């Protein structure tokens, strides 16, 4: 009985230590979530304004045949996948990677039909371990990523399309809905067909040296901005998922501690009752 009580007490201490860790991780994620959410929201006006400018330029230069504005037959697809470097975030990474693998299996017959650009250690490890064709990767992003942190891979993915190595580029990431909800989505980045169909009123600009040269500079920057905005949204989603997961873990730890405490008290009460019974029996034997 004493051995059983020691085991229960050891389990209680273990669960209490675990609860302290998960509670601390929940608070850290919550503190970082607000900053990441603000960064994600702040990136949207810049992307929207850049899209408006490009739409006006493209509308005034219909004869320009820029490769980033042209649809072509889809023979090969490029995917830019955004995951996290760390786990402990519930189904944040697993849901996204499941959606990605389902898409790859349903749309493509072989590895020759697509290439992958991966941001995040979790995605990199998952895909390379299974032999998927990863062209380029970036891991070890900070909790507040800067554009310079992902510029290399974003630029590489854009050039991959421009040079004709793929016929479309798709972003695969977790869209931030709120602290409790993140939705895995696939968003087409290239070709930039939607900029020509913008609903904004047209504004007249003067270009130097020419509208064509302006487009050559702005179009890649706009595509890279879309990638960076997705990275910021994914970071906000990561912190939201981790905060929720660690909160649930803390609640489960509390339930386990309560259950084990009840078991311990019952075992202790049984041990006391047994000792009293033995004392009474010994006293009666001497009468």
Q: Which CATH class is domain 2-24+246-286?
A: mainly alpha
Q: What is the model's pLDDT at position 173?
A: 95
Average pLDDT (19-27) is 90
Q: Which CATH class is domain 25-245?
A: alpha beta
How many CB atoms are located within 10 Å of the residue 127 CB?
Answer: 22
Q: What is the model's pLDDT at position 107?
A: 92
Burial class (CB within 10 angstroms; exposed 0-12, middle 13-18, buried 19+) of 136:
middle
Q: Is residue 280 within 8 Å of residue 21, measured between CB atoms?
A: no
Q: What is the model's pLDDT at position 194?
A: 63
- pLDDT of 227-276, one tens digit each? 999 999 999 999 999 999 999 999 999 999 999 888 888 888 877 777 77
Domain ranges (residues) in the chain: 2-24+246-286, 25-245
Q: Is residue 62 within 8 Å of residue 210, measured between CB atoms?
A: no
- pLDDT of 63-87, one tens digit each? 566 777 778 888 999 999 999 998 8
Question: What's the pTM value of the predicted model, to 2 decimals?
Answer: 0.82
């Amino acid at each position: 009985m004493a051995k059983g009580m020691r085991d229960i007490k050891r389990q209680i201490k273990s669960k209490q230590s675990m609860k302290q860790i998960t509670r601390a991780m929940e608070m850290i994620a919550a503190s970082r979530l607000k900053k990441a959410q603000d960064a994600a929201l702040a990136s949207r006006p810049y992307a929207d304004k850049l899209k408006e400018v490009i739409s006006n330029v493209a509308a005034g230069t219909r004869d320009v045949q820029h490769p980033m504005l042209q649809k072509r037959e889809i023979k090969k697809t490029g995917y830019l996948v955004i995951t996290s470097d760390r786990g402990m975030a519930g189904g944040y990474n697993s849901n996204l990677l499941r959606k990605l693998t389902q898409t790859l299996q349903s749309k493509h017959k072989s590895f020759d039909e697509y290439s992958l650009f991966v941001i995040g250690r979790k995605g990199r490890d998952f895909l390379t371990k299974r032999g998927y064709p990863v062209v380029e990767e970036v891991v070890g992003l900070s909790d507040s990523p800067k554009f310079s942190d992902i510029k290399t891979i974003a630029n590489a993915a854009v050039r991959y399309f421009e040079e004709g190595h793929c016929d479309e580029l798709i972003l695969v990431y977790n869209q931030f809905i709120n602290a409790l909800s993140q939705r895995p989505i696939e968003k087409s980045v290239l070709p930039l067909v939607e900029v020509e169909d913008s609903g904004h009123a047209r504004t007249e600009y003067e270009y130097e040296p020419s509208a064509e040269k302006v487009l050559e500079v702005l179009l890649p920057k706009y595509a890279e901005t879309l990638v960076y905005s997705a990275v910021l949204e994914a970071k906000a989603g990561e912190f939201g998922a981790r905060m929720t997961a660690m909160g649930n873990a803390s609640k489960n730890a509390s339930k386990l501690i309560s259950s084990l405490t009840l078991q311990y008290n019952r075992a202790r009460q049984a041990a006391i009752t047994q000792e009293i019974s033995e004392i009474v029996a010994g006293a009666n034997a001497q009468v």
